[in-house]
Amino acid sequence: MRNILLPTDFSENAWNATKYAIELFKDEKCVFHLLNTYTPAIVSSRFMATHVGHAQEKNVREISEQGLEEVVRKIGKSYNFPGHTYKTISSFSLLVDEIKDIVEREGIDMVVTGTKGASGLDEVFMGSNTVRIIKSVKNCPVLAIPQYFEYISPTQIAFATDFNRFYSLSELQPIIDLAKAFKAAIRIVHVQYEIKALTEIQMFNLNMLRKYLNEVEHYVHTVSELNSVSKTLDVFTKELDIHLMAMLNYQHSYMEKMTREAVVKRMAFHTQIPLLVIPELGMNAPRKSSLNRKNAVMD
């Protein structure tokens, strides 16, 4: 049984991510945890939250709860997968803090979130909330879905790496599971500023990676960097018709470089296909435990 967390602000962007998650796991037993966090407009930090009046909090809570009920009704009209159940969580809290708590408390296997578009631009951008979630969630993968991306089974998955770090099997497992579920090919892509031979450490890590992936179809691609890592990967995914990009998030990783690029160049980090970001788990990462769930389950 998978536990999937779906943060929503009731926008079309969030609904698109919800649809993607339901389609992606349509053949699996899942509990989808629909989360909406709310704070009145005057609240700008957790320290001000205690000054919000009870009546005002009650009003926004009712709006939040009604919105979640409407999402569940909308799902019921569009989908009927017998293995799926839905829980709603309405919380007076900051989004990232609440997500971290729920991931731990409910044993969440994946967070699926939408990315917001940029007005007047053709590219699809990853909003600041999504970047904060990716940077903050340390014990489960985050799948970011672009605003206008329509679901397609991920039969071509790219895994971006520079081979400078040894990956554990537990870190690679989400990618392997997806590849097996959709009979997908994994295309390992290595972006280099200049093409040169791999070091002994890189070769060792590549060989271990291929050993871990021996049960799935996989290929290795080395490409030259075009202005930036994110731009290079964008071109790669278009040329090979990639359906989903995966990468690990650790110090000096591609993921870290790409989010830093966004700050340095004062432009939003963009992705036009779903992006699966896996946190650094390590060889001895503890298993998440599912505690008793307080919220009612809605079929």
Sorting pLDDT into bands at 50, 70 and 90, what band is 285? very low
Of 234 and 295, more confident: 234
Least confident interval from 30-34, 131-135, 199-203, 206-210: 131-135
What per-residue confidence (pLDDT) applies to 196?
85
Q: What percent of the chain has pLDDT over 90?
A: 57
Is residue 274 pLDDT above 80, yes or no? yes
Q: Give mean pLDDT, residues 132-148.
A: 89
What digits encode the pLDDT tens for the residues 8-26?
Answer: 999 999 999 999 999 999 9
Average pLDDT over the chain, rounded to an integer: 82
**CA–CA separation, 21 and 155 (whole Å):** 16
Q: What is the pLDDT of residues 38-71, one digit of tens each?
A: 976 544 454 444 555 566 677 889 999 999 999 9
Bridge partner list, 247: 277
What pLDDT is attached to residue 40? 60
Query: SS3 helix, strand, coil % of the chain, rounded to 5?
Result: 35, 25, 40
Say how far apart CA 140 and CA 249 lie, in whole Å.
11
For residue 164 the two structure tokens come to 């400078």
**pLDDT band at residue 287 under the 50/70/90 scheme:** very low
| Structure token pair of residue 206 | 């590549």
Q: pLDDT higher for 153 or 135? A: 153
Cα–Cα–Cα angle for 98, 276, 94, nearest 5°?
Answer: 15
pLDDT at residue 236 tops 80: yes
Three-point CA angle 30, 31, 37, nearest 5°: 140
Per-residue pLDDT, averaged over 216-233, amounts to 88
Measured CA to CA, the distance from residue 103 to residue 279 in angstroms comes to 13
Q: Residue 107: which residues within 8 A CB-CB, separation 6 or more?
A: 3, 288, 289, 290, 291
Structure tokens of 278? 């896996």
Across 46-50, 206-210, 273-277, which has the greatest mean pLDDT? Answer: 206-210
287 vs 43: which has the higher pLDDT = 43
Local confidence band at 131 (pLDDT 50, 70, 90 cut-offs): confident
Average of per-residue pLDDT across 199-220: 96
- pLDDT for res 167: 87
Q: 3-12, 87-96, 161-170, 183-192: which range is least confident on average? A: 161-170
Q: Reply yes or no on whether the pLDDT at 135 is more than 90.
A: no
**Burial of residue 42, with CB atoms counted within 10 A of its CB: 0-12 exposed, 13-18 middle, 19 or more buried:** exposed
This prediction's pTM:
0.83
As a whole number of angstroms, the distance between CA 204 and CA 164 comes to 9
pLDDT of 231 reads 81
Structural domains of the chain ordered from first start? 1-147+274-299 (3.40.50.620), 150-270 (3.40.50.620)
Average pLDDT over residues 151-156: 97
Determine whether 1 is exposed, middle or buried from the number of CB atoms within 10 Å of its CB (0-12, 13-18, 19+): exposed
Which tens digits make up the pLDDT trace of 118-128?
Answer: 443 434 334 57
